A = this chain, B = another copy of it.
Amino acid sequence: MASSILSDCSSARLLPLRRALLPQRAPRIRPCPALASPRRLLIAARPQLFPRPPRMDSVPTAAAAASSAESATASADASAKVIDGKLVAKQVREEIAVEVTKMKDAIGIVPGLAVILVGSRKDSQTYVRNKKKACEAVGIKSYEVNLPEDSSEEEVIKHISGFNSDPSVHGILVQLPLPRHMNDENILNAVSIEKDVDGFHPLNIGRLAMQGRDPFFVPCTPKGCMELLHRYGVEIKGKRAVVIGRSNIVGMPAALLLQKANATVSIVHSQTKNPEQITRQADIVIAAVGVANLVRGNWIKPGAAIIDVGINPVDDPESPRGYRLVGDVCYEEASKVAGAITPVPGGVGPMTIAMLLSNTLESAKRIHKFK
């Protein structure tokens, strides 16, 4: 189940993106020690948090760290700090729960998130169920609409319009992928900009790109990446950052966010001729390209902070499922060079839903002018 949560980039379709961003003529899976001997990956290292995570309200207990370490995958001799997304996501959810209670007590308003699911894809159903559960756990009210696969665009838009004008709904999310006969753009554009908690609306992206403007919402996965960097005290201003991948839902907004935080940003993509050389200059790397183990140890500047957004299934006959999940970064190699790194799973994955909850809370606060 966890893997299902992790492979969902908010409500976005990951697989087609992966295909779109694949470097031409590059092998789908790169040879990497972690792939040659998958079992070595399973020696879990205890994640070491940076000494002073600046925005952490409470220092994680040893028990919590040990528990979260179960999902961290690192070789025993790794030198990088593990950026523990599972732990940070838990903290974020706890902070949200406190805020939700405060808001309810003060003004009687409960934040509400509406999710629209069209069709009956098993993976989409799982994502929607997980979002619902996550909402319940922090006290956010969730609303769900399930429409049959053969619904018309008009029907979906009718439901969106209903939620747009429903004062108890503060965030609206259309689970992607939509059935092929629908135009994603038409449907996503129908979501009111004030309730677009996914942050995918072009107006939001434009405001994200512009100096002196702020988006209503920051897309969840890139927001999660930035939250991890902030909470682990990684300095961004004046640093070189490389984003690998330029998707609308992760790479591009991540680059805009890093730039807004005053990093010097380069975007590496499928047409880039010497990605390893450029990546090696970066103090911060966000990899979001969907190619297993693309980023090798020798791509990484010693001491760099590595945020690995990729979640790629690779064959593993020793796993009960027959596969396991690896990132875009060859963890075993990278963790020996980097200063800090997110594991896969247990890195960026858990942050996405946490940021969706954060956006929903933020929306409710803004609409009701609650600080």
Contact = CB atoms under 8 A, between A and B. Distances in A.
Contacts of A268: 264
Contacts of A58: none
A367 to B, nearest CB: 20
Nearest to A252: B209
Lowest 5 CB-CB distances: which A-B pairs, in order? A206-B206, A202-B206, A205-B206, A266-B266, A262-B271
Q: Is chain A's binding surface mostly helix, strand, loop or mixed?
A: mixed
16 contacts: A202-B207, A202-B209, A202-B210, A205-B210, A209-B209, A209-B256, A237-B271, A238-B272, A238-B273, A240-B278, A262-B269, A264-B267, A264-B269, A264-B278, A265-B267, A266-B266
A201 interface: yes
Contacts of A263: 271
Contacts of A248: 210-212
Contacts of A212: 248
Nearest to A204: B206
A259 interface: yes
B269 A266 contact: no
A369 interface: no
Contacts of A207: 202, 206
Nearest to A269: B264
Nearest to A210: B248
Interface residues of A, number: 36
Nearest to A211: B248
- How many subunits of this chain does the assembly comprise? 2
A267 B247 CA distance: 18
Contacts of A272: 238, 264
Interface in A170-227: 185, 201-213
Most buried by B among A207, A266, A278: A266
Nearest to A185: B213
Given A202-B206, A264-B271, 8 more contacts: A201-B206, A203-B203, A206-B206, A206-B207, A238-B272, A264-B267, A264-B278, A265-B267
Contacts of A86: none
A93 interface: no
Contacts of A271: 237-238, 262-264
Interface in A241-274: 246-248, 252, 256, 259, 262-269, 271-273
Contacts of A265: 266-267
A6 to B, nearest CB: 24
Nearest to A236: B271
Contacts of A266: 264-266
A99 B121 CA distance: 50
A284 to B, nearest CB: 14
